[in-house]
Amino acid sequence: MRLEITCHDRLGITQDVLDILVKYNIDLRGIEIDPAGKIFLSFPTIEFNEFQHLMPEIRKLSGVTDVKTTPFMPIERERNELNAILETLPDPVFSVDAKGRIMLTNDAAASSLDEERQSLLGIQVSELVKGFNVVKWLESKDINIQAHKVKFVEQDFLADFFPVFVPDSSQSPILAGAVILLKSEFRLGQQFSVFHQPGEESFNHIFAQSTAMKRTVREAKKFAESNLPLLFFGETGTGKETLARACHSITAGSEKVFCQVVVTGKSDEELDGILFGDNTTPGVLNDEQNGTVLLKEINDLSAFIQAKLWAWLQQNEKQYQSGNSESKQARLMVTTQEDISLAVTEGKFREDLYFRLTSLVLPVPSLRDRKGDVIGLAELFLKQQALRMGKRVPKLSRAAVDLLQAHSWPGNVRQLENTVCRAMLTATGREIHKENIQLPGNASGFSFSSTDFEGTLDEAVKKFEKSLLRQLYPSYPSTRQLAKKLGLSHTAIANKLREYGISRKTIKI
């Protein structure tokens, strides 16, 4: 039986209540005092006759305003709530005292160790969780929340350490112990995947604060409604594929597969089979499972594949004009870094195919043209990287912000992402400084000593050229971009890249 007594804060009132219990020979099992003016009592169930006399006698005490039964004591409710939380958590949890001894745990921890929960109580948690000195942390003067990689049952876990404080009589915090929450790599992967569901391929997840990018997103949404081929034109790393996926997500065929094919580096025979199929397979353009097919770097198509693609588009248009509702070919989207009209002028790209593919053209701005997005994107990439690593998101220092904002970003969004993720790996504190940010120099990587120099001037020049081109190629991965950067002709750069064996196959972009 449990009683809840509401009363005023009067000296000796608790003793008066206890005296009444003694008078009726009631065995007190528990008592709680709430400073808000409540006394809670727990004792064995008594006879109704005794109960009838007990309640009025307590009510007569000076300062008592109400007495009633209650289903539970506050501490029982809190304990049951805590147990419910612990039991529903799939991750191992330990509650330890200020000396690091286990005071409470859950079934997830016990089952991982193949032990009963009771058998773990009193054990030093450091015997089970390796890789972090819990006692030293608890004894430190400035104790804060910690997150560390640890070993538990011979496996890697991410451990969160939360200090627990209780107030003393003057309401000053006193360290009572800590709660340790463990997450396995598998569980972290499950949680991380929640943030990378197909919904992230929608326009809602495209970062666009600058005027240029807002305009691009607005046009992309309009173009997504059409069935016409859609061409994305922009430099490397600008996010052409991301926009294509977003367009696919709001098309009529969004429930079908988004299929991408990289044209560069594939033979005619290989590309012909992939796109158009053979006697046994339909090819991605004719596969009813595909809602959208994205051809990347359309400017690298050979004359043979160009002719077949033009014929495929012709057939599609005839079926559409005839009102054939059975036509289930995929929506075609293409990307290019180069102005295809120049290739048409040079006779390298079919003019009729060019006009087919440029019905809808979406220019994708470079990061130089959307400076207002640089810091926001950098902070977004830091947040994503921190989530992958299970770390707190670091902040960018003022100097780091200025450096990122001032850079020209020839590799665009992809280069920015790689740069800030690398900076986070090298940073040691909670802030990323200018020194953590590595931006490529134009001519680093080539040096020599006058004492050990060998060879001719021509050989030295070639060595320097090769080093310079290898460093610039990831940021300027087309011959036209690289030629423009270095002030040379397209043909001269193409010859040098061929001579030094520099291509997408040999250089990671």
Confidence check: pLDDT of 134 > 90: yes
pLDDT the model gives residue 454: 65
Q: What pLDDT was estimated at residue 442?
A: 36
Mean pLDDT, residues 95-106 taken together: 93
Compute the distance between CA of residue 151 and CA of residue 131 in angstroms, rounded to an integer.
6
Q: Is the pLDDT of residue 95 over 70?
A: yes
Q: For residues 253 and 242, what is the distance between their CA atoms, to the nearest angstrom?
A: 17
| Mean model confidence pLDDT for the chain | 86
Residue 324 has pLDDT above 60, yes or no: no
Residue partners of 109: CB distance under 8 A and separation at least 6: 92, 93, 94, 117, 120, 182
Cβ–Cβ under 8 Å, residues 446 and 468: yes
Distances from the Cα of 453 to the Cαs of 72, 154, 208, 448, in angstroms?
Answer: 88, 53, 51, 6
**At 210, is the pLDDT very low, low, confident or very high (cuts 50, 70, 90)?**
very high
pLDDT score of 318 more than 50: yes
Q: Are 220 and 251 in contact (CB under 8 A)?
A: no
Global pTM?
A: 0.53
User: 3-state SS of 22-66?
Assistant: HHCCCCCCEEEEECCCEEEEECCCCCHHHHHHHHHHHHCCCCEEE
- Is residue 295 scored above 90 in pLDDT? yes
Q: Return the SS3 of 253.
A: coil
Cross-strand bridge partners of residue 3: 41, 69
pLDDT band of residue 37 (cuts 50, 70, 90) is: very high
Q: Is the dihedral of CA 120, 124, 125, 130 positive or negative?
A: negative
Interval 248-266 mean pLDDT: 89
What are the structural domains of the chain? Answer: 2-75 (3.30.70.260), 89-191 (3.30.450.20), 202-365 (3.40.50.300), 368-436 (1.10.8.60)
The interaxial angle of helices 412-426 and 374-389, nearest 10 deg, is 50
Q: For 378, how many CA atoms within 13 A lie in the half-sphere containing its CB?
A: 26
